[in-house]
């Protein structure tokens, strides 16, 4: 019964690595989606910043 124990230890050691890698992949994909959204619609982010100074000047 030494092989199953060794396999169990390996699986418990590999599980956190898989979990962290999945978390990194998900965070990376969400950052990419956010960057795509910002680059695809820059007017939405630029217009408020341009209208605010105009309102302050007037």
Residue 58 pLDDT:
60
Give me the DSSP letters along 8-34.
HHHHHHHHHHHHHHHHHHHHHHHHHHH
Residue 47 pLDDT:
56
Q: Which domain holds residue 38?
A: 2-57
Residue 31 pLDDT:
93
Run means of pLDDT, 10 residues per run, the chain, 58 residues: 65 85 94 87 58 57
Q: Does the pTM of the predicted model rise above 0.75? A: no
Q: Considering its fold, how many domains does the chain have in total? A: 1
Residue with tokens 């124990």: 5
């Amino acid at each position: 019964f030494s092989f199953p124990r060794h396999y169990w230890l390996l699986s418990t050691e590999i599980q956190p690595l898989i979990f962290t890698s999945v978390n990194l992949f998900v965070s990376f994909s969400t950052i990419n989606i956010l960057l795509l959204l910002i680059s695809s619609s820059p007017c939405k982010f630029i217009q408020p910043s341009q209208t605010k100074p105009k309102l302050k000047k007037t």
